[in-house]
Amino acid sequence: GRDPFHGAMSAGTRHSDGYRQQDQRDHWQIAGKGQYRLDPVTRLDVSGAWASDQYEVPLSWCLRGHCDDRGQAYQPFMVDTAGLGDHTRSDKGYVTAIVSREASSTLSWLGRGSWFRTDFTDYLRPKGEFAVADRVGGEIRAVARPDRKRTVTVGAEVTFSDVTSDIFGAHTEADYAAYGEGEHHLGAARLTTGARIDFLAVDGGGLTAVVSPRVGAVLPAGRGVWRASLGRGFRAPSLAERFVSTYVSGIRVVPNPTLGPEEAWTVEVGHARGFADDRARVDAAVFWTEARHLIEPSINTALVQIQFQNLARARLAGLDLSLSATSLMPRLSATLAYTFLYARELAHDTTPTRPLAFRPRHLLTLDADYALGAVSVGAALRYSSRFERVELYETDPRVAAKVVDLHAGWTRGPLAAHLLVSNALNYIYNLVPRTLEPVRKLTVAVTWTY
């Protein structure tokens, strides 16, 4: 568009037959955004999107005797005959409007209003389920720059949520928050201090208040940069986690109205540095989190039910490492990322210290690309170590995930073609209990840019 208005719209659809029995899905979407210059220093930005998904529900794979098992103990590509015909329709959309103003060279502010809606219906045996939820929010924020060495940000936020459902019930939640942050330059170093206070009220009840302070520092040192941060985190349970009442694969999920917010203190120290005229770069960080009331699904095997509960204490510590290299060899580039995670639920009452469920200790990705003129080829390896502990079907075999993807591309002027072979070695594994992860898939895309 032309001043004072600019805008864009997009629409799309896709269909997939899936890779398992009863795995078809259709997706439709439309999105738009616009910008209107109210005056030289004031701007209005509006965006919105709506998406609709219709998909079959495979849930867990079939065990012997519950489908045409062909003599096998289980059939990962098939579903229990009792679930044949299960499907879901899910619609969701949002609208956001932001007014921003550069009042002066030292002061700016913005106001934001947003609405998000989700509406789904599960057509499951023996009866269907539905939920309609809305989330309306607003925020106002001001940024002041008294001088070149200081930046101060203050703001307030309010959000109202409601849900009407036969599995969540009818509930409301109100969230109020105020925050402030200051950034100070001390020589070459940059120091950031701030805090946020959150108030939470469910179904019009009393307020729960949580204060979350944070401090961080960045210090350039030679060709590298050191960084460190210490802060308190907070997450309120969703209405779905508090009030869900349904069945999943024959297991009852029960509500927990007393579920509280999870809190954590986290410290991180990291360093980033370039080598060989920045053709190679290393970024490493160690982190330590002490969590209280961590929200986790708990499986009661005696009652055969699941409930979201607060863990007394948990500890997550580890290392994040990434390396990237470009042009070390002609036309070759590579990246490597590795995460080591020590995740434990700490001992309390009669429960001993034990691994947190569904957390891999090692995560590794390796990506390499080679470009020659208009053609490029590459490969990516994704590795995830086997879960040390799961909450469901604990006796089922567990394996590490080892997935190789291959890709190639060709570009000539406005025309481009891309080829992707996902899980090229057709490695069979699962991350969710008794749910097969995607098998080998070939994708071809051709684009014309004008």
In a domain, 309, yes or no: yes
User: Average pLDDT of the chain?
Assistant: 94
Q: Are residues 283 and 165 in the same domain?
A: yes
In a domain, 370, yes or no: yes
Cβ contact 262:310 at 8 Å: yes
| Domain of 379, in residue numbers | 364-384+400-450
Give the span between the Cα atoms of 324 and 364, in whole angstroms.
Answer: 14
Q: Are residues 137 and 243 in the same domain?
A: yes
Instruction: Kindly report, residue by residue over 98-123, the tens digit of the pLDDT.
Output: 999 999 999 999 999 999 999 999 99
Mean pLDDT of 68-77: 91
Q: Are residues 298 and 325 in the same domain?
A: yes
Sorting pLDDT into bands at 50, 70 and 90, what band is 330?
confident
Task: Give me the long-range contacts of 142-147 (CB less than 8 A, separation at least 24).
Answer: 142/107, 142/108, 142/109, 143/107, 143/108, 143/109, 144/106, 144/107, 145/105, 145/106, 145/107, 146/106
In a domain, 327, yes or no: yes
Q: Are residues 334 and 407 in the same domain?
A: no
pTM of the model: 0.89
Instruction: Kindly report, residue by residue over 404-446, the tens digit of the pLDDT.
Output: 999 999 999 999 999 999 999 999 999 999 999 999 999 999 9
Sorting pLDDT into bands at 50, 70 and 90, what band is 126?
confident
Give the span between the Cα atoms of 196 and 210, in whole angstroms.
Answer: 8
Q: How far apart are the first and last CA of the chain?
A: 16
The domain boundary residue, chosen from 356, 376, 411: 356
Give the span between the Cα atoms of 164 and 118, in whole angstroms.
Answer: 11
Say yes or no to pLDDT of 12 above 70.
yes
Q: Are residues 299 and 175 in the same domain?
A: yes
Q: Are residues 338 and 379 in the same domain?
A: no
Angle ∠(386,388,391) on CA atoms, nearest 5: 110
Give the HSE-up count for residue 150: Cα atoms under 13 Å, Cβ half-sphere: 6
Sorting pLDDT into bands at 50, 70 and 90, what band is 328?
low
Spatial neighbors of 90 by CB under 8 A, at least 6 apart, are 52, 53, 54, 55, 118, 119, 120
Cβ contact 88:120 at 8 Å: yes
Number of domains observed in the structure of the chain: 2
Distances (CA, A) of 82 to 63, 85, 128, 164, 433: 12, 9, 14, 28, 19
Spatial neighbors of 396 by CB under 8 A, at least 6 apart, are 390, 433, 434
Phi first, then psi, for residue 258 (nearest 5°) are -90, 5
In a domain, 411, yes or no: yes
Give the span between the Cα atoms of 371 and 412, in whole angstroms.
Answer: 14
In a domain, 68, yes or no: no
Type and span of the H or E element at 243: helix 239-243
Q: Are residues 270 and 368 in the same domain?
A: no
Say yes or no to pLDDT of 15 above 70.
yes
Give the HSE-up count for residue 43: Cα atoms under 13 Å, Cβ half-sphere: 14
Give the span between the Cα atoms of 124 and 130, in whole angstroms.
Answer: 10
Q: Are residues 348 and 372 in the same domain?
A: no
Instruction: Kindly report, residue by residue over 160-189, the tens digit of the pLDDT.
Output: 999 999 999 999 999 999 999 999 999 999
Q: Are residues 285 and 421 in the same domain?
A: no
Give the span between the Cα atoms of 311 and 261, in whole angstroms.
Answer: 11
In a domain, 81, yes or no: no
Kindly calculate the radius of gyration of the chain based on its CA atoms and give it in whole angstroms: 26
Give the span between the Cα atoms of 70 and 58, in whole angstroms.
Answer: 19
Q: Are residues 236 and 149 in the same domain?
A: yes
Which ranges constitute the DSSP H helices of 303-372?
none
CATH number at residue 165: 2.40.170.20
Instruction: Kindly report, residue by residue over 335-386, the tens digit of the pLDDT.
Output: 999 999 999 999 988 889 999 999 999 999 999 999 999 999 999 999 999 9
In a domain, 188, yes or no: yes
In a domain, 414, yes or no: yes
Residue 302 falls in which region: left (phi positive, over 0), alpha (psi -120 to 50) or beta: alpha
Q: Are residues 139 and 202 in the same domain?
A: yes
Structure-token pair, residue 168: 């969540």
Q: Are residues 374 and 345 in the same domain?
A: no
Say yes or no to pLDDT of 1 above 70.
no
